[in-house]
Amino acid sequence: MVQCFPVRAVLSFFVGLLLAAPAWAGAPIEKIKSSTDKILSIVSDPAMKGQAKSGERRKLIRKVVDERFDWEEMARRSLARHWAERTDAEKKEFVTLFGNLLERTYLDKVEGYAGEKVFYQGESMDGEYATVDVKIVTTRNVEMPVRYRLRSKGNEWLVYDISIEGVSLVNNYRVQFSNILAKSPYKDLVSKLKEKSAQEQ
Amino acid sequence: MKGLSRIGIVAGVWLFLFCGSSFAGAPDGSVSPEEGFLWELRNQEGEVYRLEGIPVQPDGPGHLLSFKTDIPGIILDGTTGKQEGQGLPSPAARPGEGRDPFQEEEVQESISDPLEPVNRVFFEFNDLFYFYLLKPVAQGYEAVVPETARLGVRNFFTNLGFPVRFVNCLLQGKFESASMEFARFILNSTVGLAGLIDVASEGAQMKRYDEDFGQTLGSYGIGTGFYIHWPLLGPSSLRDTFGRAGDSFLTPASYASETQYQLAVRSFDTVNETSFRIGEYEDLKKAAIDPYVALRDAYYQYRRSKIKE
């Protein structure tokens, strides 16, 4: 059953988050590469290995990731039409919850990094938006095309969506959330997110 | 423009169907690109239908919305760039925001799911099937059979998929891909010992062109249809189900002498393939708030992107 559809594609965006540093002409490439290198070095640092160090490791990785990913933009786009209806406090809460959800899943995957290779296929830029295409090749020669969408904020370029094999992360969550919000009130969604976070601890 | 004319036709049909009905509960007039809108329209029989506009990217260029409706008989497929009468909303452009030029590549609707209750039941069934039967068997198999052998089996079955890929490449006019597939097949079947070794990919670095009849139908412009989640087979759509049926004529295993042999071959292939993919389904469940919807949407997006390429 699972074979008729590459579930791995949906999940490997987390590997993609780690490895596929968006690259395009100019100084930003250096910044992105350094973010990626930082994370990789944290993950492969022998002093940081093992269960005991896991909390510290995650904190360090999260710091690097926060510099590169625009959690608020991702959260906003995943709520889409429902975002505007939220109060400021609710918005803040949602960004935190959603960010934690992504972070947790991401960190689990990052720690399973096993030598995948990253190839930069191309990029395009248009005003304040950019797209970067990357190919991840696993050790078993399985290729995964990854597409980053970025938006410039001041001096920085931040990622607001990732697509693996054409499956967009933000869109996937947007459909899930809108499906839930069509049937139940917003607070149910929030409690589902909180429940999930409690489960995973 | 294609999207626009489709909206126009659909709107026309819509108005025709509701000819003579009046729309009570008119839209409240607030339509904006990042918020979208939701109209509830009541016809003369008092039935309420929803028409929803979903922003493609909530703070994008201010003029891309995709539409969704549960008005029976209507499948809305497309986005509107600029408003065109016909009772469709005029999304307001937000000044000074700049365009998100990459939105136009992706029409982010989701697949319609009128069979959702049934699909969910099958989804739960598949879930149980996976955890209680398929996964333990695959894990046992994985423990016993070395990876090289399992890869060999996988390559063997992939090679047998040649007729499906080849014919569908041809049907889509992708002649180069077809000839590449043919070359791969010859190479793998001979040098690759009846397909056990994927010489074409590893040695010759040849790409596999994974086409199937569902994609062929999609490339002819046949829409996805609604979502169907089959027991055991997993996620599919109306069109892709016909696709599978079509492809089964090209699948060698279908011609095995008795049903039990067909079943045995398919089961073996499934167990072998699953032995490589243990953990993926669990990851999906872990990342999703609603795994059923997550899988459905991922399937839909994936198929769209495969048809595009």
SS3 of A65-106:
HHHHECHHHHHHHHHHHHCCCCCHHHHHHHHHHHHHHHHHHH
Nearest CA in chain A to B281: A7
Contact between A97 and A190 (Cβ < 8 Å): yes
Tell me which residue in A10, A109, A200 faces B298 most closely, judged by beta carbons.
A10
Contact between B256 and B244 (Cβ < 8 Å): no
Stronger pLDDT, B272 or B11, i.e. the higher one = B272
The Cα–Cα gap between A105 and A102 comes to 5
Q: Which residue of B113, B148, B277, B286 to mutate against A (max A Cβ within 10 Å)?
A: B286
Instruction: State mean pLDDT over A71-95.
Output: 90
* B201: chain A residues, CB-CB within 8 Å: 141
Residue A46: DSSP 8-state: G
- The pLDDT, as a whole number, for residue B140 is 95
pLDDT band for position B309 (50/70/90)?
confident
A174 with B304: Cβ contact below 8 A: no
A171 with B297: Cβ contact below 8 A: yes
B129 with A5: Cβ contact below 8 A: no
Question: Smallest CA–CA separation between B45 and chain A, in Å?
Answer: 24
- Quickly list DSSP for B103-160: GGG--------TTHHHHHHHHHHHHHHIIIIIHHHHHHHHHHS-HHHHHHHHHHHHHH
b/e sequence B101-129, b meaning 16+ C-beta within 10 Å: bbbeebebbbbbbeebeebbebbeebeee
Q: What is the ipTM of this complex?
A: 0.80
Tell me which residue in A109, A171, A200 faces B108 most closely, judged by beta carbons.
A171
A residues 2..61 contacting B (CB < 8 A): 2-11, 14
Tell me which residue in A2, A105, A167 faces B281 most closely, judged by beta carbons.
A2
- Return the minimum-mean-pLDDT range out of A54-63, A149-158, B69-78: B69-78
Highest mean pLDDT among A80-89, B3-12, B236-245: B236-245
Averaged confidence pLDDT in chain B:
76
Contact between B46 and B39 (Cβ < 8 Å): no
pLDDT band for position A85 (50/70/90)?
confident
A167 with B308: Cβ contact below 8 A: no
The Cα–Cα gap between B222 and B306 comes to 14
Stronger pLDDT, B256 or A100, i.e. the higher one = A100
Whether the pTM exceeds 0.90: the reply is no
The structure tokens listed for A120 are: 């930069």
The 3-state DSSP composition of chain B as helix, strand, coil percent (nearest 5) reads 50, 10, 40
Tell me which residue in B54, B288, B289 faces A80 most closely, judged by beta carbons.
B54
Tell me which residue in A5, A177, A178 faces B235 most closely, judged by beta carbons.
A5
The structure tokens listed for A64 are: 């690097």
- The pLDDT, as a whole number, for residue B291 is 94
Strands of the B79-80 sheet, one edge to the other: B37-42, B48-55, B65-69, B79-80
Q: Which residue of B280, B282, B304 to mutate against A (max A Cβ within 10 Å)?
A: B280
A76 with B58: Cβ contact below 8 A: yes
Give the CA angle between residues B295, B109, A86 to the nearest 5°: 90
pLDDT of B128 over the 50 cut: yes
The Cα–Cα gap between B300 and B229 comes to 12
Question: What number of C-beta contacts closer than 8 Å exist between A and B?
Answer: 148
The structure tokens listed for A21 are: 């540093």
Stronger pLDDT, A103 or A112, i.e. the higher one = A103
% of chain B residues with pLDDT over 90: 39
* A77: chain B residues, CB-CB within 8 Å: 57-59
- The pLDDT, as a whole number, for residue B17 is 46
pLDDT digits (tens, 9 = 90+) for B249-263: 888 877 777 788 888
B102 with A126: Cβ contact below 8 A: yes
A residues 132..161 contacting B (CB < 8 A): 141, 149
Q: For residue B297, what are the contacts with CB-CB under 8 A and spacing of at least 6?
A: A167, A171, A172, A175, A176, B110, B111
- The pLDDT, as a whole number, for residue B66 is 64
Contact between A162 and A13 (Cβ < 8 Å): yes
Residue A12: DSSP 8-state: T
Tell me which residue in B99, B126, B280 faces A127 most closely, judged by beta carbons.
B99
pLDDT digits (tens, 9 = 90+) for B175-228: 999 999 999 999 999 988 888 888 888 877 888 888 999 999 999 988 889 999
